[in-house]
Chain A
Amino acid sequence: DVKVTQSSRYLVKRTGEKVFLECVQDMDHENMFWYRQDPGLGLRLIYFSYDVKMKEKGDIPEGYSVSREKKERFSLILESASTNQTSMYLCASSNPTGVDHEQYFGPGTRLTVT
């Protein structure tokens, strides 16, 4: 079974703090993704990576950065957290040669910025 894990289920941070969200997958997938999910807006892609040290901006990259130093790990960084970054953050991975490019999601991190 594919397993995608995220470092925290719930996180509370203060405005201006630097926040690290970690994601690890155990299926040797090349592709990894970070989304945020908000009511009425659905899942929106922040960044994705198709290889170690490679990254591409998604639809809403502003205020975020990412790091992929190892194939299994993809980190999302909020350089200076703001209240509008309060959201559910979901990490996913996929195999580019896999059937239907299925994306496997982690359980999510609910981040609250106060």
Chain B
Amino acid sequence: RKEVEQDPGPFNVPEGATVAFNCTYSNSASQSFFWYRQDCRKEPKLLMSVYSSGNEDGRFTAQLNRASQYISLLIRDSKLSDSATYLCVVNSNTGTASKLTFGTGTRLQVTL
């Protein structure tokens, strides 16, 4: 079983739609969680962290369910510029450095 699992998509949605991505992780000792965004042929960049209480940043909402080992990302009012691959990322602290484990990503294509 992969440490971090995501549906690869692609998710094809019209502009203005709401779309949700899910992710599961296998290590119950994982300490922190993130969503990174990767545009085509570009490097990944941090989109947002995921907190137990849930957190929101504009049109983006992230949720964590530790009991089910499940993370989600909700995008409201999708824009063309949201088209990208969204990487679910889990941090397991080795004690010497924070080690991030990346999911394979979910591709989103927003269309007119």
Q: Which residues of A contact B (CB under 8 A)?
A: 30-31, 35, 40-45, 48-50, 54, 56, 58, 90, 94, 96, 100-103, 105-108
Contact indicator A42/B34 (Cβ below 8 Å): no
Contact partners of B66 in chain A: CB under 8 A? none
0/1 per residue, B36-60, Cβ < 8 Å to A? 0000001111100100000000000
Contact partners of A102 in chain B: CB under 8 A? 46
Q: Given contacts A40-B104, A100-B49, list 9 more A-B pairs with CB under 8 A.
A: A40-B8, A42-B87, A42-B104, A44-B102, A49-B97, A54-B96, A90-B43, A101-B32, A105-B44
A42-B105 contact, Cβ under 8 Å, with A105-B44, A105-B45: yes
Partner pick for B43 among A50, A94, A105, CB 8 A cutoff:
A105
Contact partners of A42 in chain B: CB under 8 A? 87, 102-105
Rounded to whole angstroms, the CA-CA distance of A102 and B98 in the bound complex is 9
Q: Which residues of B contact A (CB under 8 A)?
A: 8, 32, 34, 42-46, 49, 87, 91, 94, 96-105
CB distance from A71 to the nearest CB of B (A): 14
A100-B46 contact, Cβ under 8 Å, with A42-B105, A50-B96: yes
Contact partners of A43 in chain B: CB under 8 A? 44, 87, 102
CB distance from B64 to the nearest CB of A (A): 13
Contact indicator A108/B46 (Cβ below 8 Å): no
Contact partners of B87 in chain A: CB under 8 A? 42-43
